[in-house]
Amino acid sequence: MSTTTAPPTGTTTVRDGAFGPARELVCRECGSTQPLGPFYVCHECFGPLEIGYDFGTVTREQIESGPANIWRYKALLPVPDDIETSPNTEPGFTRLLKADNLAAELGLRSLWVKDDSTNPTNSFKDRVVAIALSAARELDAKVFACPSTGNLANAVAAAGARAGIETVVFIPSNLETPKQVNSAVFTEKLVAVEGNYDDVNKLASEIAGEEEGWAFVNVNVRPYYAEGSKTLGYEIAEQLGWRLPDQIVIPVASGSQLTKVHKAFRELVALGLVEDKPCRIFGAQAEGCNPVATAFKDGVDAIRPVKPDTIAKSLAIGNPADGIYVLDIARETGGAVEQVTDDEIREAIVLLARTEGIFTETAGGTTLGVLKKLAASGHLDLEAETVVINTGHGLKTLDSVSGTVGPFATIAPTYAAFTAAGIA
């Protein structure tokens, strides 16, 4: 299919097959369609857009013969068939770890941790950025950019460097130092903005509307970018032996990851790649940024924005774009959206590390904390197969637990001191 669109740098002809099986942009509210291009709001009702596909036939064997990264699912993504020839960070196909020690601690029969901390920049954001980078190339963008709470900035900066495209990333000025360094090492144009993420996002939207040639991954190429989260769902199902879990716990920032994992599961069912079965989907938020959890508990559909105040800065989006869709999915699947305190986040980080040897950041601590809370309260079926997603590495948020863990004892270099300390 060849489509003429208006990309960030002006009018160009999108090459045949540029977006693979993607055929159009579809409004999530009114259902109207428009051509593929750098658009993210509906021309009819200003609702959010997502990708519409014509998948054709896709088989397990076709997927399994692909590379050990997200491009094994290219037949299900808005990317060209030759995507593997374009320089990118090749994220994905991270481990699904059987977490028996943690399961025993929480009273669960079967628990898996989808550990995305081993991606190239140590978070799941490498997935979504790889898709956004492909779209930016096809739309002839000259600048690759994003507003970010940290992990996205890291991923965009690294992917831009790998692709040889100018990269600019915008972050809140109070972001954790490790995340700032992890971006600045890849790009000289790390811009700290006074304010929270919502302020940064607003600025990015203004720039995207004024500057030609800028591809903001989570603004004007957001429909493509968001599809990268589907690969988490695809991998979980494939790694479980081509089946869906009974229940899954997913962190909620903008809410896009949860909605796209759910979309991935539905696509696999529709294509006959997995058997259709109930899968309860749970969302996790920090108490200091809990607009979706609050709406769920109150039984309302509207999301009331909040001003974030939590150590889980990568989840600190006070006005989540996909919040209402998270509510719909949690309710439809029999799940829930729950919240935990900062202290519960810290405790969960340590618990995961000391049971399974995985050091998670505060977003993962939030998700694990909610998993623990749901198990204790009876909201989770303790006998059901459960998956929890760890989205990033704890080295990015060291400050969050630096006052919680430390030396067991400080001793002189003598055996007597060792025995006196009660270490053995």
Q: Residue ranges of the domains in the chain?
A: 70-424
Largest Cα–Cα distance of the chain, in whole Å?
79
Class of 70-424 in CATH: alpha beta
Euclidean distance between CA atoms 295 and 302, whole angstroms: 7
pTM score, whole prediction: 0.93
Q: At what angle do helices 291-298 and 323-333 cross, to 10 degrees?
A: 50
| pLDDT score for 178 | 87
Mean pLDDT by 10 residues, the chain (424 residues): 35 74 96 92 94 96 98 98 94 98 98 98 97 96 94 96 96 90 95 93 94 94 97 98 98 97 98 98 98 98 96 94 97 98 98 98 98 97 98 94 93 96 94
| pLDDT score for 403 | 87
